[in-house]
């Protein structure tokens, strides 16, 4: 019987070391692997290259690792909510690679599918295309993008079973599914870990074959970046 359950977040992160490349799911603060990020901060490792849609906020999400100078390079699409990120980038302390959001997603999906590279029109004729191969298809210009190469991917799901099958909830189904199986080791943290057979097969978003370790997370804050209320 397949059992990918580990008993703690500490056990889930076994084998990680400084200098590795990490993928982290989420969009804004929605669906981020909160427990994994907090454990990374406690481990005191550094020199990480982090691949994520964005860099969290100053005191939450990847912002925690940035404050502790644990990230050497950030590969992201949007980074506008983090003052410490801005400070480190402008001072030259942090290397930053900005990627069009669709390209970021496709570089994850390509890695997940074992596709080494693909062509996209996004970024042609801009700084994004510098140093990259370009080709013309049906009269349109494209640039070649290579799939990501990562050591660990950390993702967050709503429910999962011991075999690693996952169900995401609402908009937390963002970059998380694309990062499953896109690294050498995929670690899934879930709000509810259930026995085998408890999940409806028709509702599963990611099969367990794309997950290496799974654990049940705790104490989720689920913060909102910018709370906007309708005026009465």
132 found inside a domain: no
Would you say residue 174 has pLDDT above 80? yes
Give the C-alpha separation, 153 to 187, whole Å: 6
Task: Kindly state the average pLDDT of the residues 10-32.
Answer: 96
- Calculate Rg over the CA atoms of the chain: 18
Residue with tokens 């991917």: 153
- Return the pLDDT at 95: 96
Q: With pLDDT > 90 as the criterion, what percentage of the chain qualifies?
A: 89
Indicate whether 120 belongs to any domain: no
Rounded to whole angstroms, how far apart are CA atoms 104 and 52? 9
Has residue 197 been placed in a domain?
Answer: yes
Does 138 map to a domain?
no
Q: Is the pLDDT of residue 1 over 80?
A: no
Domain boundaries, position 39 = 19-115+147-216
Task: Give how many domains the chain has, as a whole number.
Answer: 1
Over range 169-182, report the average pLDDT: 96
Report if residue 25 sits inside a domain: yes
- Answer whether residue 37 is part of any domain: yes
Q: Considering Cα of 30, then 222, then 46, then 160, what sign does the dihedral take?
A: negative
Do 66 and 82 contact (CB within 8 A), yes or no? yes
The model's pLDDT over 114-156, given as tens digits with 9 standing for 90+, comes to: 999 999 999 999 999 999 999 999 999 999 999 999 999 999 9
Whether residue 82 has pLDDT greater than 90: no
Please write the tens of the pLDDT for every residue from 176-220. 999 999 999 999 999 999 999 999 999 999 999 999 999 999 999
CATH assignment at residue 59 = 3.40.1080.10
Is residue 10 domain-resident?
A: no
| Angle, vertex CA 177, rays to CA 5 and CA 113, nearest 5 | 100
Looking at the chain, which runs of residues are DSSP E strands? 21-24, 48-51, 71-76, 95-98, 117-120, 134-137, 140-146, 150-161, 166-167, 183-194, 213-216
Three-state DSSP class for residue 153: strand
The answer to whether residue 207 is domain-embedded is: yes
**pTM (global) more than 0.85:** yes
């Amino acid at each position: 019987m397949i059992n990918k359950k580990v008993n703690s977040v500490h056990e889930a992160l076994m084998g990680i070391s400084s200098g590795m490349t990490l993928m982290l799911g989420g969009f804004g603060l929605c669906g981020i692997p909160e427990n994994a990020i907090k454990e990374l901060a406690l481990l005191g490792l550094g020199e990480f290259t982090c691949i994520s849609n964005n860099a969290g906020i100053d005191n939450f999400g990847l912002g925690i690792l940035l404050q502790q100078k644990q990230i050497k390079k950030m590969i992201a699409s949007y980074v506008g909510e983090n003052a410490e990120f801005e400070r480190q980038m402008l001072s030259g302390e942090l290397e930053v690679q900005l990627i069009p959001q669709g390209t970021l997603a496709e570089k994850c999906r390509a890695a997940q599918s074992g596709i080494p590279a693909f062509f996209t029109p996004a970024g042609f004729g801009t700084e994004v295309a510098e140093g990259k191969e370009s080709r013309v298809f049906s009269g349109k210009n494209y640039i070649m993008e290579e799939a990501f190469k990562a050591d660990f991917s950390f993702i967050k799901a709503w429910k999962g079973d011991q075999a690693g099958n996952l169900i995401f909830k609402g908009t937390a189904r963002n970059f998380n599914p694309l990062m499953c199986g896109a690294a050498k080791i995929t670690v899934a943290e879930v709000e509810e870990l259930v026995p085998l057979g408890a999940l409806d097969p028709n509702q599963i978003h990611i099969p367990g074959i794309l997950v290496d370790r799974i654990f049940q997370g705790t104490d989720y804050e689920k913060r909102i970046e910018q709370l906007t209320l309708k005026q009465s």
